[in-house]
Amino acid sequence: MKILDWYILKKYFVTFLFFLLALSAIAVIIDISEKTTDFSKAKLPAIKIITDYYFGFIPRIDAMLFPLFVFLSVIFFTSVMAGRSEIIAILGNGISFPRFLRPYFIGGIILSAFLWWCNQSILPKANAKWAYFSAKYIDDSYSGINNKAFINNYYFRLDSFSYAGIRYYDTVNRIGNGFFVQTFRNNQLVYNLRSQTITWDTATNKWRLNEVMVRNINGIHEELKQHPVMQMQYNFKPRDLQRDEYMKDKLPTNELNEFIKLEKLRGSEIVNILMLEKSTRDAGPPSVLILTLIGAIVASRKIRGGSGFHLFVGIVISILYILVGRFSSVFAMKGNFNPVLAAWIPNLVFSILAYYLYRRAPK
């Protein structure tokens, strides 16, 4: 690490911090203006709104726009350096263009690692805080924690051969009735379980079934057993019966991976959405490094328009990045497009753009 590296890295992190704080403040102001009526209806003190809502909203919006914050900050401070002829002086003293980009590369890796860590651990907790407040005080259409205290006639798949259903389930008290499980082999029913009530036992982390009747069928032979109580370990938990559309955002990555495996086993229709969420958490951090290099290359040339023109180019590229990401995500969620590829397409497209700009950059 030379003096040049420390000089550029200092500008990199200080400018990024300024953009992060400034744009986060703008996002909060816009959000407050939109939700003033909801906050007034809730009749909550300001400190509770800050701790229960904005402590979740700010990390959520920052993680979503983190790569673009980095990109605009790199464009800005590099353009200022180019306007002062600092970059011309650096390259004129025998320093190669790849060597000039090295501190940008280091800074991009550091922020990429930071974003990856946040996506895996910090962001799900923030999303949970934001979603709970939204469900309780803001979003009337939200069918998550509070607004949907019960479900009726819910059917789902346990594995490739077994199906389950529940007539009524109270998501708050975690108790239901009319529960059944059916298993088929070669299109023939071989197992049928019916229970009057089903309750989640927090002590054993198992389901407690009451007044159970079990039928095992083998051709024309049938075995019938009745049990007053049964403790069963099924591959679904109370959270899976809440129909919470923000569940994927709130789960830490290890729990999300487990949830994806279960949903694949059940043949769920939301597997693509879950896979897209998981892939997005992994694809976001590399985009920080890619956009850092694009920003450094674009803004390193001294032009007549100066910082204003560079920022305009940066905003255009940012919009294109968002559009590419949104289009690929929609195709993955609504169609049969591979969700992993959909999450990584923006990185692939802009990696090609970064290479093209690098080859065309004056050195």
Per-residue model confidence as pLDDT tens digits over 318-356: 888 888 888 888 877 777 788 888 889 999 999 998 898
- Is residue 263 in some structural domain? no
Same domain, 136 and 281: yes
Give me the pLDDT at residue 154, please. 81
- Is residue 252 in some structural domain? no
Give me the pLDDT at residue 256, please. 86
Give me the pLDDT at residue 241, please. 76
What pTM does this model have?
0.75
Same domain, 229 and 338: no
Same domain, 127 and 165: no
Counting as low any pLDDT under 70, the low residues of the chain are 1, 139-150, 242-245, 266-268, 304-307, 362-363
Give me the pLDDT at residue 10, please. 93
Same domain, 134 and 276: yes
Tell me which amino acid residue 38 is.
D
Same domain, 134 and 64: yes
Question: Which of 324, 312, 326, 333 shows the shortest CA–CA distance to 352?
Answer: 324
pLDDT tens per residue across span 118-174: 988 888 888 888 888 887 777 654 444 444 556 788 888 887 788 888 988 887 778
- Is residue 32 in some structural domain? yes
Domain holding 128, by residue range, is 3-141+271-360
Residue 200 neighbours by CB under 8 Å, 6+ apart: 174, 175, 207, 208, 237, 238
- Is residue 325 in some structural domain? yes
Place of tokens 């969620």: 333
Give me the pLDDT at residue 66, please. 92
- Is residue 336 in some structural domain? yes
Same domain, 213 and 291: no
Same domain, 49 and 160: no
DSSP string for 14-49: HHHHHHHHHHHHHHHHHHHHHHHHHHHHHT--HHHH
Same domain, 125 and 32: yes
Count Cα neighbours of 122 within 13 Å in the Cβ-side half-sphere.
16
Q: Which two tokens stand for residue 167?
A: 């007539």
Domains in the chain: how many in total?
2
Give me the pLDDT at residue 25, please. 92
Distance CA(342)–CA(230), nearest Å, equals 44
Same domain, 136 and 157: no
Average pLDDT of the chain, as a whole number: 85
- Is residue 25 in some structural domain? yes
Residue 280 neighbours by CB under 8 Å, 6+ apart: 329, 343
Q: Which two tokens stand for residue 155?
A: 């059917």
Domain endpoint, select from 227, 242, 257: 242
Same domain, 137 and 281: yes
- Is residue 256 in some structural domain? no
Same domain, 131 and 183: no
Same domain, 135 and 22: yes
- Is residue 227 in some structural domain? yes
